[in-house]
Structure 1
Amino acid sequence: MSRTSALSSFVESAPPGELADVTKAIKSILGDDAVESELSPAYQKYNEEQLSTAKLPGGTSEVLVSPYNSLGDGRYYDVESSSSFAFDHATGKASDVRSYVLEGALEDTVKSLVKSLTTHASEHYPKSSTGVFPIEDDSQIAILTVANKYSPSNYWNGRWRSHYTYTPSSGKISGAIKVDVHYYEDGNVRLITNKDISTTVGANASSAEVVRQIATAEKKYQEDLNKAFASLSEGAFKQLRRQLPITRQKIEWEKISGYRLGQDIGGGGRAR
């Protein structure tokens, strides 16, 4: 494996919200601050796959970066703000905002979906960003949601991504939900899940119905995850350690080295 391929694999596997930390570590190890130009393709792949977000200069909401709204040459567009922007994949900054008016056969459907999806995301996901873009020569529509929650001071970061392809003529909706959570206090635990979704609505269904079907699928997946976590907590996690008796007595920590674990903590005599 070449150096570039090896370094790119680190970038592409960076946990949510930690791309800058990975880049900093690579620079520190190599002693090369100019490595970003070498990794430019990896940064672009990571940002587009992870549905990275950026605030437009002077804006308050965050816009998406994805393969579906790419205009080429590092530029992307946003339907809701009717603008296009340049995006620096290494720094994650947007700049050079210009007017961009969406046109095409699906223009009205896309704008209607934007409103319905924005409402759904704001009600169910904190700090979420959405995007709706015509694809495949205006025969299909990409529907995207990303919700990030970062808490590096508590050693965890997480990201929810969902992307669907909607075909108005047939009413078919297909896509996937992806969850990526990294917890790294005194350890390194990462949860990565992927759930394929396939459902249908009536041909040329309303935007509200399309988003309602998506919301139903996402709610069910969240409930399934909650059940899996509860089962894991009560099952596998408990088996990782031996259960100790509950005596409701305080441990005398200054004498901890003298305890005989089973007998003394269980209420028996002290070691002599």
Structure 2
Amino acid sequence: MASKQQTVASFVETAPPGELSNVVADIKALAPSEAQALAPAYKKYNEEQYITVKLPDGNGTAILSPYNSLDNNRYFDTATETSFEVDHASQKTSNPQPHALETPHADLLRNLHKALTTTSSEHFPTSSHTITPTNTDPSTLTILLVATKFSPQNFWNARWRSTYTYNPSTTTLAGSVKVDVHYYEDGNVRMNTRKEFASREVSGGAEAVGREIAKLENKFQEDLNRGFGVLGEGCFKSLRRQLPVTRQRMEWEKFQGYRLGQDIGGGRAK
């Protein structure tokens, strides 16, 4: 059985997009002692969710992930070639330092940054991306993209996360997309889905890689849209409460006071 501390930490680690502060506020109110020891949970959440932070000098943003993590809560950003320290609880950055690109594919990496900037701006209202040498194989590059849309006034929040590995030697690309959407008006509905993309050859350099990523993700989004249409007209529609024969909505709060024949049927009680 999980300890109370593990249970509390799991609430942080699985918090819906854009709602971590609300979850933490609840934890501090209900379990103040456990709330003091959540640093590992904050770190895991920030890295898994590809949280975007402002760089210490205010010149741009960077993604937090296991792929660009250094020791002692430091991360590096290849676009600005700097490293920085992060307070995972507040998501604030500090102590910037130069960080040279340690890859034989530095020029390709820079070109991929440009290509992804163009691609993501065409498909997402706001997004962030980074390209880093892959931890386990520095001869390959890891491409990360994250886009968020938070609308708490309409009771929904969402996050899109893409992870790709590109091998310049074989010109092959493989990856996955994760989509997490939470809708909570008069209920609590969450969609957390993932799509894997098998390895494929992509020749033509950085621009071709950007186009292939856009192609894969457009197809995935189209599949999602079709799936939602099927659900809306099928399963979800069958779950909706049907109108009575009078075609008038039932006022359920007054149900106890109805006289079946007269009030519902509109005629005289028998």
TM bracket, shorter-chain basis: 0.7 to 0.9
What value does the CA root-mean-square deviation take over the aligned residues? 2.6
- Measure the CA separation in 1 of the matches of 2:69 and 2:217: 26
C-alpha deviation, 1:3, in angstroms: 2.6
Whether 1:130 aligns to 2:129 is yes
C-alpha deviation, 1:7, in angstroms: 1.8
Report the equivalent of 2:88.
89
C-alpha deviation, 1:107, in angstroms: 0.7
Length-normalised TM-score, structure 1: 0.87
Contact preservation (8 Å) 1:181, 1:190: yes
Change (3 A) 1:271 1:170: farther
C-alpha deviation, 1:112, in angstroms: 0.7
- Displaced runs of 4 or more, over 4 A: 245-249, 256-265
Q: Secondary structure of 1:71's match? A: coil
- Give the letter for the 1:14 counterpart: A
Report the equivalent of 1:176.
176
Report the equivalent of 2:76.
77
- Measure the CA separation in 2 of the matches of 1:176 and 1:196: 4
- Measure the CA separation in 2 of the matches of 1:262 and 1:60: 72
Report the equivalent of 1:269.
266
Report the equivalent of 2:40.
41
Q: Secondary structure of 1:166's match? A: strand
Report the equivalent of 1:150.
150
Contact preservation (8 Å) 1:76, 1:85: yes
- Return 84-93 or 3-12, whichever deviates more: 3-12
Contact preservation (8 Å) 2:173, 2:202: no
Report the equivalent of 1:4.
5
Contact preservation (8 Å) 1:201, 1:213: no
Change (3 A) 1:59 1:263: farther
- Measure the CA separation in 2 of the matches of 1:168 and 1:260: 76
- Measure the CA separation in 2 of the matches of 1:252 and 1:259: 10
- Give the letter for the 1:138 counterpart: P
- Give the letter for the 1:220 counterpart: K
Change (3 A) 1:31 1:43: closer
Contact preservation (8 Å) 2:243, 2:250: no
- Measure the CA separation in 2 of the matches of 1:31 and 1:271: 61
Deviations along 1:143-162, one digit per CA (max 9) or x if unpaired, are 01000111122211100001
- Measure the CA separation in 2 of the matches of 1:217 and 1:263: 60
Change (3 A) 1:109 1:260: farther
C-alpha deviation, 1:137, in angstroms: 4.4
Contact preservation (8 Å) 2:202, 2:212: no
- Give the letter for the 1:269 counterpart: G
Task: Extract unaligned runs of 5+ from structure 1.
Answer: none
Contact preservation (8 Å) 2:120, 2:127: yes
Contact preservation (8 Å) 1:201, 1:209: no
Whether 1:190 aligns to 2:190 is yes
- Measure the CA separation in 1 of the matches of 2:119 and 2:216: 13
- Measure the CA separation in 2 of the matches of 1:261 and 1:105: 80
- Give the letter for the 1:207 counterpart: A
C-alpha deviation, 1:113, in angstroms: 0.5
C-alpha deviation, 1:261, in angstroms: 8.8
Report the equivalent of 2:114.
115
Deviations along 1:121-140, one digit per CA (max 9) or x if unpaired, are 11111220101001234211
C-alpha deviation, 1:165, in angstroms: 1.0
- Measure the CA separation in 2 of the matches of 1:63 and 1:264: 63
Contact preservation (8 Å) 2:261, 2:267: no
